[in-house]
Amino acid sequence: LILPSRAGVDFVRLLGRSMRFRRTAEQDPETPYPAPPRVPLLGRWLTHFGERARVPGSSLLLAMTDVLGRHWSTGQSTLEDQHLGALLAWIDPPQGRSGAEAALEAELARDDQGQLLHPPAGPATDPAFDNKLLAPALLRYDRARTALAAAEDGLEADDRLGALTAAEQEIRALVASRTRPTWDAVWRGIDLLRALPEGAHAEERWTRDRWSFTSHRDRVVAGEPPQPRRDDAVTAANKLAAREREQARLEAQEALDDPLVMAGRRLAGEAFAGEVTDVVMTYSEGKRPSPRPLVTVRTDDRPHLGERAKVYRALGGKPQSAEFVGYEEEGALVVLKILDKMGRGKEPETGSVPEKGDRVCFTLFEHEQRGGAKLPDPEDTPWTHGGPPGEAVQETADPLTPEDVL
């Protein structure tokens, strides 16, 4: 699901919460306003998509402004970049105009009736449109419905039905005039993103999204209750740990996929790149010596390497680790000891050890994230975190208000 902005993602999450607890006639024959079974089912799926949107690297529910902002920089603040029209104007301005001029027009320009030329993407709407155009149209529609209900004969009813149809078509046209520009803007953003090369690790992240989709489908089919409003302590801790792990994995994968991102990590001292100037074959001590070649790298970077710190490089899609041995020539040369991914023989496999003249890039951060400590089962939750969750309580839908029932 692709939405125009972050506010739309929040609204999807709100819709899911308001729908997934609705009672159907099969569940509660006494409920005054039973919902069709597909309503709570849709709410559960919207909630799942909303939860996945909080997982770094997930693509199940995306805000177009956030995705564009990860690949393009503008002269606006992060808050201003949440206006999709202004963001697209900065990224892809009309010919002969600057991004700043086009963005200002996208934010403020109005027509002769005082309506924005680039309507907001929502969920919030433009008050000028609501008050000057939509509210009068709704009033005309309500009057047409009242007049049709009061018709005394068939001929009069036909005339008033025509007026009601015209009022309905007017509302449809007004709504389309506000929503179609956003629809076109989202597809314009998709076209810009499709022109970019795909990251090498994007398929792996998409696979995790598909597994989450399948797992939720299995829970629904198994008859499990909808997601609770508030997680128990163990579930909340697991979610937090998973998001932290996925954030670290995403940052590592983006650096490995994008040289510009890696340049930022190199500038921060979290990685270094250079040319191999020397390779000396050494072996570990023990009954079965293993190759431990010393590789010297000339680099202009200044990595924050501590004593015997581990560094990593990508080799055939897998991380190869090395150990920092020391500096030479006042830090211009970095000496490393390769530790693994060289095969099981006495001599390293071909291509597993950098050769003199090769360009290499090592990172101080791990490429793969390890799992954390196992948490207790929910029934073993300590009292410091609220104790066991107890028996499941049937969640109720949000209370009805006069606006909910027309």
Q: Counting every residue, how long is the chain? A: 406
pLDDT of residue 88: 95
- Write the pLDDT tens digit of every residue in 63-112: 999 999 999 999 999 999 999 999 999 999 999 999 999 999 999 999 99
Q: Where are the domains of the chain?
A: 2-144+174-202, 258-363
Residue with tokens 């570990």: 284
- Write the pLDDT tens digit of every residue in 391-401: 555 666 766 66
pLDDT of residue 27: 84
pLDDT of residue 229: 87
**In terms of CATH architecture, what is 258-363?**
Beta Barrel (2.40)
State which residues of the chain have pLDDT below 70. 372-373, 383-386, 389-396, 398-406
pLDDT of residue 406: 42
